[in-house]
Structure 1
Amino acid sequence: MSTATTTPTRRHRPLAALAKAEYLQFRRNTTLLVMGVGFPVVIPLLSFFVIRQNEGASATLAATTFEMFLLMALLFVQYYSVLSMITARRSEGVLKRLRTGEASDVQIQAAPMVPGAVLTLTGTIVVSAVVYAAGSPAPVNPILMGLALIAGIAIFSLLALATSALTKNAEAAQITSLPVMAIAFVGLSTIRGILPDRFQQVADLTPFAALSDLMSLGTSGQLATASGSTALDFGATFAEIGQPVAILVVWTALALELTRRNFRWDDRG
């Protein structure tokens, strides 16, 4: 009995230790901390209060605020921090050394995701508290908001691991991250809304577009590009998640396959 109960704990100890070490490194990086707090939390909330003064608090404004938060948190906290940290560890030979220890490959790859995920979840709590305390209507479907958040953390972490194969060092991450960032920005509802129909259909297939639609459905009961239409109720929102979820599944599978095929544990490998 004791063996059965202690084995799972032992299996998770390497991940906990690695995640703690990554968190300590993350906390010492002033640039990542500023990006993690200033960009995702401060900027969306400033925009929220400026617009609220003129138009009042509304479900649409809340959806726009959460979309901006989600974009900045996933790109500048989750994606960029994982990309820069995993690339730096590889350049320093840390990844190669860790593979000789108790941690599995998956645990070594997952550890750098933890600090950004914690900061993103904390930022979500702060933004939610401020937005809804300021008088915004209650979210239509919080489950979809949580799904968008968790799925976003997972997929942008995987995209960071895939991108690291093309990144020689932490400084080069500023260049190699641009394609993913460009794809993410195209998925913004404001950009999709001004594109010609044919290009909008393509933009709807990007991962952040799917996340934006899930977040908007959860917040306001409308798809991100369907502002002005009748808001759906809690149950009806689930009928609209088929395409966004399918898009996220495809992108997750693609990122996993790219990581499996191309991830490098050593600069010489």
Structure 2
Amino acid sequence: MTAVTRMLALGRAELILLGRNRLALYTALLMPPLMVWAMRSSIGGIDGLDLGEAGMSVDETAMTAGFGFVLLFVVHQNLVSAYVARREELVLKRLRCGEARDPEILAGTALPAVLISVAQCALLAVAGVTWLGVGAPARPDLVSAGLILGIVVCAALAAVTSAWARSVESAQLVTLPLFLVSLMGSGMVVPLELLPGPVASACELLPLSPAVALLRGGWLGGMGAHEAGGHVLAALAWTGVAVFAVNRWFRWEPRR
């Protein structure tokens, strides 16, 4: 077997296990659209929030934020639970005794979440154009770059975060910090252009901020090559940090 066939086999097995876990499956499939609907219904009523100053509408903000919700729920939260469950069941330890290398095991486990996130983003894009009427993406290349980099960053951070969880139940708690920080400070709800200068500069350094900026700038347009390059480099830097942390702290055996 080649590395690709081994990862596909692991991904198929993980997809079967995901289908048997109704709670994880419902969270991955239903939470992102529900969050988009809730955000669209409530964001217009926030006092003092004028999205027009950022050149955006409520529908455009809700739709582009939906990509961020997919990254957080489908990729990060789902993968943390998967890595913890496989670790505590000694699945990861047994896999290391076979032909698969460590990166293949991690990538194969993440494969179903990656495929589901891509499919959900595609559905959100279609819904945004046909239902919300936000228009087609101005720069599909930036949208693709933001989605790919966001998936890679969230998957790597999920592997790191799983080291802090002692059980599948506690895995839901350790994902909250990244969710809350990204929700409030990565431009998903409030565009960074509306924040004070120092606060916006600090929020640009958060893990998901570059991916959200690329997704939003690619969809709505107006992002120059220099600005896009800066976001790409920031996302790559976070990827490097996360990969280093995985190599250093990821746990392959149960925490007992």
TM-score (norm 2): 0.86
Structure number with the bigger relative contact order (C-alpha 8 A, sep ≥ 6) is 2
Select which of 75, 78, 88 maps to 2:72.
75
In the other structure, the counterpart of 2:218 is 218
Q: Secondary structure at the match of 1:172?
A: helix
Segments of 4+ moved more than 6 angstroms: 49-52
Matches within 5 A, 1:12-161: 12-44=4-36, 60-61=57-58, 63-134=60-131, 135-161=133-159
Return the offset for 1:45.
Answer: 5.2
Gaps of 5+ in 1: 1-8, 53-57, 222-231
Q: For each residue in 1:146-170, what CA deviation from the matched residue of structure 2 results, as whole angstroms up to 9, or x when unmatched?
A: 1111111111000000111111111
In the other structure, the counterpart of 1:229 is none
In the other structure, the counterpart of 1:260 is 247
Aligned identity (percent) is: 28
Q: What is the distance in 1 between the residues matched to 2:68 and 2:3? A: 33
Select which of 3, 6, 9 maps to 1:11.
3
In the other structure, the counterpart of 1:55 is none
Q: Secondary structure at the match of 1:111?
A: helix
Q: Secondary structure at the match of 1:254?
A: helix
Q: What is the distance in 2 between the residues matched to 1:268 and 1:48? A: 41
RMSD of Structure 2 on Structure 1 (CA)? 2.5
In the other structure, the counterpart of 2:176 is 178
Q: Secondary structure at the match of 1:102?
A: coil
Change (3 A) 1:49 1:238: farther
Q: What is the distance in 2 between the residues matched to 1:75 and 1:250? A: 19
Q: Check conservation: 2:187, 2:213, Cα contact below 8 A.
A: no
Q: What is the distance in 1 between the residues matched to 2:102 and 2:236? A: 22
Q: What is the distance in 2 between the residues matched to 1:70 and 1:261? A: 30
Greater Cα offset, 109-118 or 147-156: 109-118
Greater Cα offset, 203-212 or 149-158: 203-212
User: Are residues 1:238 and 2:201 paired?
Assistant: no
Q: What is the distance in 1 between the residues matched to 2:175 and 2:35? A: 21
TM-score (norm 1): 0.82
Change (3 A) 1:240 1:268: closer
Greater radius of gyration (CA):
1
Return the offset for 1:264.
Answer: 1.1
Return the offset for 1:138.
Answer: 2.1
Return the offset for 1:212.
Answer: 1.5
